[in-house]
Structure 1
Amino acid sequence: MTTPDDGAARSPRVPFDRIGVAVLRELVESIVTGQFAPGDLLPPEGALSTDFGVSRTVIRESVKRLQEKGMVTVAQGRGTHVNPIASWNLLDPLVLSTLILHDDTLGILDDLSVVREALEAVMAGAAATHRTDAAVAELRDSVVQMRNAIGDPDAFRTADVEFHHSVMRLSQNVLAENIAGSLFDHANESTRYRGVNPEDAYEAAVSEHERVVEAIDVGDAVAAQRAMEEHIRVSWERRRLPSPRASGR
């Protein structure tokens, strides 16, 4: 007699291979770009199977993944409806990266910067209360690397990313670190988020990071919070590209 733990009693999970991943990615993109708008019905399983040239099983699994991401609701006998963006799991890596990729108005990146500012400012304040000599030395080393890499954007960005992750770790807030780190890393994959830095932008960024370190070093949580808040806000304002839609192009 089999038991609930017996592997033979369980239905095997359908492998979601590269074809399925490609179908899911295209469906997510179709929803993000508005090809299927909130309230719309997705085409039935058979039609999607024909359109993508894949089996119904692949389509069924893809729609299931969409539902797990909050992008659709499957109602028996009524089809699959697209949900409004407020229902989506915006921290899902595929959803977030697709939103950023197609953020023509920079609205998502503006929102992301505001959330980063709030989270990382609080984390910088917490880092000041948990400061250690070793942690401060690590932060100072990242700033030195940034200063030495002012003529090398890639090396500068690497040191910048390490600085921010170091502050997150020092905050000892694992949940905030997970959320802010995910937002930061996905945003940095976007050329729109990296924007175009004006002259002396790197020098200004180094000075802003130094103010964060100084506040953390003396254990001033309020000053550390304000310094990080200002840095994230002004650095985004500095490099932010004009929105194509806003400029009428």
Structure 2
Amino acid sequence: MRRQVLADPFAIPHAPAAEAAPPRARGTKLGINVVQQIVSDIVRGVLTPGSTLPPEAELCDQFGVSRTVIRESVKVVQEKGLVRIEHGRGTQVTDPRQWNLLDDVVLTAIIAHDANLSFLDELVATRTALEADMAAAAATAYTGEDRLRISASLELMRSKIDNVAEFAAADAHFHDMVMAASRNRLGRAIVNSIHDKARGSMRYHGEYNEAVMRQTLDEHQAIHDAILARDATGAATAMRAHISGSWSRRRPRPDADAPGSGSRRQSAR
């Protein structure tokens, strides 16, 4: 006798395949493009603080999208702090002091249009202060496992001295292991966020050659030794000297904005 299978009275019936909701990837992608362009226009001064965004109809024509996409995109830009929507007055561009500088889109745009490198200078100064503080904290807080990870990351750098890309990755890993040992989760997140975006800028890059990599390795050795000696002051000093010195060495000259001729160009920590 065939067993009868009873229908589950609480089951949600499946909709026919033809009635499934279409994917929204295209609309989402269009919205992302609109947001990025508006942010870029504001950051590079095409839309100045206090000015008003063009009317919706004009933006629709400019980007070739619907009013819905424009409205949603402008709201996203407002969430980033770059505009303020005021009923009856339009959408006003805000003062740069109100921008969310840690937002991925805003940070990327600012770095891309940082003509005089002043923002990158601020970024390096912020990173230097945070990482020096975290190196000092790591010297007093590291565990046996932290010690092994920091030492292993230094040895990884040493083993990659003949491979620029892998050396740079090992370099970044060393810094991350030091920050992890500090137990400063917020500081680590901030540094990783701003540094990842900076590394996307050609003007933040430095030219790696054997001499540069060996100097970088020596500076990391000094950081490593101070941390493992539980010398908080020495660890902070070594980290500060390394980051600020590295930026000073690779910071583009005013007449050297174009990428260098060296083929071994890679982002430096």
Q: Same fold (TM over 0.5)?
A: yes
Following superposition, the deviation at residue 245 of structure 1 comes to 9.5
Indicate the SS of the match to 1:81: strand
Residues 179 and 188, structure 2, Cα contact 8 Å, conserved in 1: yes
Name the CA distance, whole Å, in 1 between partners of 2:208 and 2:93: 38
Q: Quickly say closer, same or farther: Cα 1:95–1:227, change in 2 above 3 A.
A: same
Structure 2: which 5+ residue stretches go unaligned?
Answer: 1-23, 258-269
The alpha carbon displacement at 1:167 in A equals 1.1
Distance 1:61 1:118, change over 3 A: same
TM-score (norm 1): 0.88
2:144 aligned residue = 133
Q: Structure 1 residue 75 and structure 2 residue 86: aligned?
A: yes
* Cα deviation 1:188-229 (Å, max 9, x = unaligned): 222221233476111111111111111110111111111111
What code does the residue aligned with 1:123 have?
M
- Report if the CA contact (8 A) 1:39-1:83 is conserved: yes
Residue of structure 2 equivalent to 1:109: 120
Tell whether the 8 Å contact from 2:223 to 2:238 is kept in structure 1 after alignment. yes
- Identity percentage over the alignment? 43
Matched, 1:237 2:248: yes
Give the TM-score normalised by the residue count of structure 2.
Answer: 0.82
Pairing of 1:30-179 with structure 2 (within 5 A): 30-179=41-190
Which of the numbers 174, 198, 211 marks the counterpart of 1:187? 198
Assess, with a 3 A threshold, how the Cα gap between structure 1 residues 94 and 144 changes in structure 2: closer, same or farther. same
- State the shift of 1:183 in Å: 1.1
**Alignment partners' CA distance in 2, 1:220 and 1:245:** 39
Given residue 83 of structure 1, which amino acid in structure 2 is its aligned partner? T
Amino acid at match of 2:53: L
For the aligned residue pairs, the C-alpha RMSD in angstroms reads: 2.0
Structure 1 unmatched ranges of 5 or more: 1-13
Bigger Rg, which one? 2
Residue 181 of structure 1 aligns with an amino acid whose one-letter code is: N
Which residue does 2:8 correspond to in 1? Answer: none
CA drift of 1:185 comes to: 1.6
Seen in structure 2, the aligned counterparts of structure 1 residues 199 and 110 have a Cα distance that, compared at 3 Å, is farther
Number of residue pairs matched by the alignment: 234
Could you tell me whether the CA contact under 8 Å between 1:41 and 1:82 is conserved in 2? yes
